[in-house]
Structure 1
Amino acid sequence: MLHTWEVGDATDTVYREMLRSPGIGIAALCAKLNLTEDQARDALDKLADLALINASWDAVGSARPVSPHLGFQALWAKRQAEIAGQQKALDEARARMASLIDDYMTEYAGARGSGMERLTDLVSVRDCLERLASETQQESLAFAPGGPQTEANRTASRPLVQDLLTRSVSVKTVYLESIRNDVGSVEHSTWLAAQGAAIRTVAHLPFRMQIVDRRAALIPLQLEDSAQGALLVEEPAVVSVLCALFDMVWATAVPLGTAAAPTGDGLSPQEQELLRLLAQGLTDEGVARKLGVSIRTERRMVTKVSELLGAQSRFQLGQRAAEMRLL
């Protein structure tokens, strides 16, 4: 259906009617679909922009529908190009953010009253999270690359989330795609969604992060290891950048309960991220950690992707990925 491509109901209805009634004119469309002429012409303009209609070959001033197969191939190619552009912008934002955080941590992490506070032990981090949750009034945003890791963690987090939702706080969390393969994590995420939280997944997250009311953020002192403590950031400029990063990731993430659409090469977003991480020179252990999967699962994914791309070695896999513009 055309709703998938973010066009209105009238556009979808007009296209279907043109398929059923070849050669139908604007007046007939208006009468049959109970549309005004402006509505009908607006729908035709949108269909033309989407390359789903062409000027008629045998009737001057009228239009004919393009075959749905050909038309949706063009739409699919356009959407893929848009997603590729978003992914490129996201990757660039990740790199800029990592650099910015490193710079701020070097200059200000030890200073009090500068909009930064260093929390060096897990007890301090947990206390800070509880305080931030109690102070949240409008919105709680989170990256959770480790997912709801253990049953104890999942059980402990539920009262905090319930309290936020009871106070009509908007709760948005992004997990790794890999949580979909863990029964406990799926059950917990489904429970969160049933309570009113919004849950989405992506193939890779830059680091763990909690943002409160877009005024304060908690990020790891070491981006690759959240167990080493955290940095409470209340500097408006830095929080604004972190919020922008969250919004970019959220826009490309897949809602819980919706399967991630494969690319034209049959690769899932997680498999595409696998190729990108391998191209960066990461070891199997490094790739597995960033994807949130076991080394065994990561190696199975490499084997599957190699078979899909017809590669006989890791080197050839990189070559094939570059030739097919998957990197």
Structure 2
Amino acid sequence: MSATDPQRPGSAQPPGEGGPALPEPARADPADGLPEEVRRWLAERRLADTGTGRPAAPERALHELLLEQRGRVDALHRTLDAFEDVLRLMPDLSTSGRQTLEAEFFSDRAVLRQRMEDLDALCRDELLAMRAVFPGPEVIDASLEGDMRMLERGVDLTLLVSTRATRQTGVARYLATLLEHGARIRTATTVPLHLNVVDRAVTVMALGPPQPRGGDGEDVILHGARLAECFAQVFDHHWSTARPYDVPLREGAAGGSAAEDYTPREREVLALLAAGAKDEAIARRLGCSERTLRRLLTGLVAKLGAQSRFAAGVRAAELGLVG
């Protein structure tokens, strides 16, 4: 036999030509040799099978992540719907006790007085005022004109003054004129605020302690009925404990006991009453409202020391105030 005889023992045969098949070499697992932290990173992102650690197709991982996040979004929508349902059961926070307050601040009393003239002109029903101190006589005289116009319109002017303030120059005449025209005035040892409450809707208030003779200080005007009503209650409390204001008497005069103690206007009212004139006719004669007249009559009755209008007429006749 030749050396190439396939039957010859020991001779080699090429694979696939009749000889036995050789085993294929084992393929390396892509996951083999990966550090554990890498395996975890791939598994968390669906890029590897959690059981075998073998890498997965990126498309499959993306699909699984999308489904998972969509489920979370759906759950979030359900939670937000529940929040909205609960909010519908709650009161509207924009109207549950909250109120925007407009405030004007002043550091110049002259500018403030100009602003207060506007408020006085707009006052329709009531002005509550506290005065711990008054400005100088020239300012008092200018203020008197506006106060008189309010009284003539029928505004109920109620003034609480500290006892010390009544002794300032020009104040007694100012207060006496207001009383004569129907204002209500009381005095107290201590008045806590320098304050105006206009129609229980606007509050004018000094910030800080009163300045001597009404000197410049900081002031504020607050627009708001709720707040104004609070300050009105403070005013009403101090008013209830105060004393009626007594006009200072001239030396040697006894209160209400002489004709000289009564102004021409007061004597005219008493004469009209004695003649039987009705309130409407008297108010028309004086050029004032019936409300102002009633306040004036109340002050006259008290000044005469009488208990009624009839008794005041008798007392006025005794004093020779009526013919």
> What TM bracket, shorter-length normalisation?
0.3 to 0.5
Which structure's CA Rg is the greater one? 2
Comparing both structures, which one devotes a greater share of its residues to helix? 1
